Structure 1
Amino acid sequence: MTAVAPLLRLRAQEIVRTWRIWVLPAVLVFFAATGPLITRFTKEILATALGAGQADAIPLPDPTATEAYAQWANDLTQIVVLVVVVIAAGAINSEVRSGVAALILVKPVARTAYVLSHALVLIAFVGLAAHLGAVVSWLVTGAVFSTAPPGPVLGATAVWVVLAAVLISAALLASAAFDAYAGAAGAGIGMFFLLMLLGAVPQLAQYTPAGLIPLTNAVAAGTQEPGRTMWWPLASGLLLVGVLLAAAALVFRRRELR
């Protein structure tokens, strides 16, 4: 592969100079900052909305830092994943439609490097933004609940980044194959729902990438015991990322550019 470093700089500049640099971090920081507050003041919010009598009739446990971290994990695995797919879905096909891909590939740039540069920069960007959100969640949770160990929120976020990498890779594969943005986004979202459904099967959740969603939630809640079963979803998830990106590179090498 040639011209890898310039490609990586180009991808980084594309993120810094477009809406991506603001949207994803803003979404993550918003959920990180508001999640602990909502967890802490849920009873008060219900009392204001329903009245004190009806709110008291709803049995709610006392809020804790663990619940705030669990809310952060839910936000990551239910909402933020969709933002990640939207960001990745148009990465390749938008450049193909606009003719930018053809101009880049006129230079001594391998098509495999072209695809991998998209993946590496997107995954790195998502990982950095997610951990920024995790730090904000830890700080706000500590301020609201007095004590909040950083391990669960940082560990859950690291697991989620592997899930995000799987979805980014699936969206890039579809983006390399199809011109339609909706098709690429649909592939990424479809992969997410497939993993979510398969994750409901204990045997699959224990040994396959389908376990990344429940594992994220378990690490955040502090219910996941360290052990060999914890690493199976992570290892198989990274393997799936490699397979999807290899397929994306193969598809893109055979694609005719305009």
Structure 2
Amino acid sequence: MSQWMTLLQKEIVEMWRNFKWIWVPITFILIGVQQPITTYYMPQILDLAGGLPEGAVIKIPTPTAGEVLIQGLGQYTTLGVLIIVLSTMGILAAERKSGVAAMILVKPVSYRSFVTAKWAGGVLLVWFSFLIGYLATWYYTGILFEWIPVEDFFQSFFFYGLWLTVILTITMFFSASLLAPGIAGFSSLAVVIVVNLVSSTISNLLEWSPSQLTGYAGEILLGKGISDDTLPASIIAAGCIVILLALSVVIFKKKELAS
């Protein structure tokens, strides 16, 4: 355990040196505040943009606070996922390519400890960034519209964060499998896009798909409570994380020994 904690501390320090603890949370905050502010001031924005006939009146239905938060989560589904992939696609591939992994693994360091410590560091970064970004969305939504109950906020935060963790683990799997970080990132985005498209197209057949957690988080924000399919989807998401993480360790070890 002391070896694993040392590796985790090394990963956290390395992310500080790469400024990931700065730019990733700041980016998530900017993503978070964009939706409620833009939605609230949309009539004024359209009015300033001009181009409307004289005397035209802009009437936009005022969305509920839950709808605004759901739209905010939608930003994390696109821009947030892109940031996660870009910030973690080289988590293993880059270190293997540069030779840093070989230098560390020469010492009595297990491959499992090395890979899982890096994964844990990525999880801390993603969950911390998502928390403060989503808090910013919740705060501005409360100021400009109305307050969503704290319980609903944290429930939706947990289930949505679980899906983001699946995305992070998919990225790590490809980072362990491929030498080039760019190809690993592209492959991860392709898989996530395909999973989202398939799950949304035949949602009635894939109600337990981990990607459906985004929709179940939205239902909580609309006051519908936790869906019956949320727990099975969460369990499958956790299972996918464990399986992909185990495969990452095996593949990374095989490629390192082969090289």
TM over 0.5, shorter chain: yes
Task: Answer whether contact 2:213 2:230 (CA < 8 A) is retained.
Answer: no
Q: Flag the 1:143–1:210 CA change in 2: closer, same or farther, 3 A.
A: closer
Q: Flag the 1:56–1:20 CA change in 2: closer, same or farther, 3 A.
A: farther
What is the correspondence of 1:19-58 to structure 2 with a 5 Å cutoff? 19-51=19-51, 53=53
Q: Flag the 1:54–1:173 CA change in 2: closer, same or farther, 3 A.
A: farther
Partner of 2:239: 239
Q: CA deviation at 1:209?
A: 1.4
User: One-letter code of the match for 1:69?
Assistant: L
What is the correspondence of 1:150-229 to structure 2 with a 5 Å cutoff? 150-200=150-200, 201-220=202-221, 222=222, 224-229=224-229
- In the alignment, the residues of structure 2 paired with residue 167 and residue 27 of structure 1 have an alpha-carbon distance, to the nearest angstrom, of 18
- Identify which range, 134-143 or 148-157, moves more after superposition: 148-157
- In the alignment, the residues of structure 1 paired with residue 215 and residue 30 of structure 2 have an alpha-carbon distance, to the nearest angstrom, of 23
Task: After superposition, give the CA deviation of every residue in 1:147-185 in whole Å (9 maximum; x if it has no partner).
Answer: 343344433322221111111111111111111112210
Task: After superposition, give the CA deviation of every residue in 1:35-78 in whole Å (9 maximum; x if it has no partner).
Answer: 21111111111122135548957663114322321221111112
In the alignment, structure 1 residue 67 sits paired with structure 2 residue 67:
yes
Task: Answer whether contact 1:39 1:67 (CA < 8 A) is retained.
Answer: no
- Identify which range, 123-132 or 202-211, moves more after superposition: 202-211
User: One-letter code of the match for 1:111?
Assistant: Y
Partner of 1:255: 255
Report the number of matched residues. Answer: 257
Q: CA deviation at 1:146?
A: 4.8
Q: Flag the 1:5–1:55 CA change in 2: closer, same or farther, 3 A.
A: farther
- In the alignment, the residues of structure 1 paired with residue 210 and residue 104 of structure 2 have an alpha-carbon distance, to the nearest angstrom, of 34
Partner of 2:140: 140
SS for the counterpart of 2:133 is: helix
Report the identity percentage.
Answer: 23
- In the alignment, the residues of structure 2 paired with residue 141 and residue 4 of structure 1 have an alpha-carbon distance, to the nearest angstrom, of 40
Q: CA deviation at 1:109?
A: 0.8
> What's the TM-score once normalised by structure 2's chain length?
0.90
- In the alignment, the residues of structure 2 paired with residue 82 and residue 205 of structure 1 have an alpha-carbon distance, to the nearest angstrom, of 24
SS for the counterpart of 2:229 is: helix
Q: Give the unaligned 5+ runs of structure 1.
A: none
- Identify which range, 107-116 or 59-68, moves more after superposition: 59-68
User: One-letter code of the match for 2:204?
Assistant: Q
Q: CA deviation at 1:15?
A: 1.4
Q: Give the unaligned 5+ runs of structure 2.
A: none
